[in-house]
Structure 1
Amino acid sequence: MSTDPFIYLEFLRKTLLPLPGVTEKLHFGTPAFYVNKKIFTRLKEDGETLVVSTLERDKWMDADPLTFFITDHYRHYDYMLVALKTVSPDDLNLLLLAAWRNRAPARLVKQFETELLSKQ
């Protein structure tokens, strides 16, 4: 992906805001995305790293430790850092959708799946 934080933010907005129940607001002074008042991703202060909620952190980090990693701060949390310079858009889409699903209430997940099926 590009190295411009505004392009990253535009990608995040385009990907996440159409999902049911997603809102954007600042968290620690950076753009963050929530569902059901629960944060599931935010842009780090450097503008090049994303914090993402994940239940499969080890899988991602084992596959590409330069792109998916943690710092000591995140060791005991279900979050992972993603280097936006090196992540593929497809992987990022998968990761963001999984993060949203893990935080969204069942009714919103069902709404999303129904909308997805109606488009096919």
Structure 2
Amino acid sequence: MDASDLRRLALGLPETEEKSHFGKADFRVKNRIFATLPGDDTGVVKLTPEEQQMVVASEPGVFTPVKGGWGLKGWSQVRLAEADQTTLESALRMAWRNAAPAGLRKRVEGDAG
């Protein structure tokens, strides 16, 4: 995977917009950031600490916690070249759910069911 893949997959999620955060691309749902693209080979996703522990344990070559306090909150770095599409899609969906308002999540998950 690469930056264009992350962009394509993130923008495919409901009501996602691409904006900029400190000069880097970010992806938002209802103006809440759920992923960023700090470089061509790296993405960052907003996971819960529990989700972060799970993905780091299962895919240590792909995921690492962001350094500092943001990493303690679940923000996780993704090595895009090491990720396959299924893994990246799953991480982006988790991150999207963590940022999306409850009403939107309920409406989207109800549509999917």
Q: Would you call these one fold, judging by a TM-score over 0.5?
A: yes
Unaligned runs of 5+ in 1: 3-7
What CA distance in whole angstroms lies between the structure 2 residues aligned with 1:77 and 1:93?
Answer: 21
CA distance in 2, matches of 1:60, 1:78: 11
Q: Which residue of 2 aligns with 1:5?
A: none
Corresponding position of 1:52: 45
Q: CA deviation at 1:71?
A: 4.2
1:21 aligns with 2:15: yes
Tell me the secondary structure at the aligned position of residue 75 of structure 1.
helix
TM-score by length of 2: 0.84
Equivalent residue number for residue 84 of structure 1:
80
Amino acid at match of 1:52: V
Matched residue count = 110
Unaligned runs of 5+ in 2: none
- Structure number having the greater strand percentage: 2
Q: Secondary structure at the match of 1:107?
A: helix
In the TM superposition, what are the counterparts of 1:24-103 in structure 2 within 5 Å? Answer: 24-44=18-38, 46-55=39-48, 56-73=51-68, 74-103=70-99
- Distance in 1 of aligned mates of 2:57 and 2:21: 28
Amino acid at match of 1:102: N
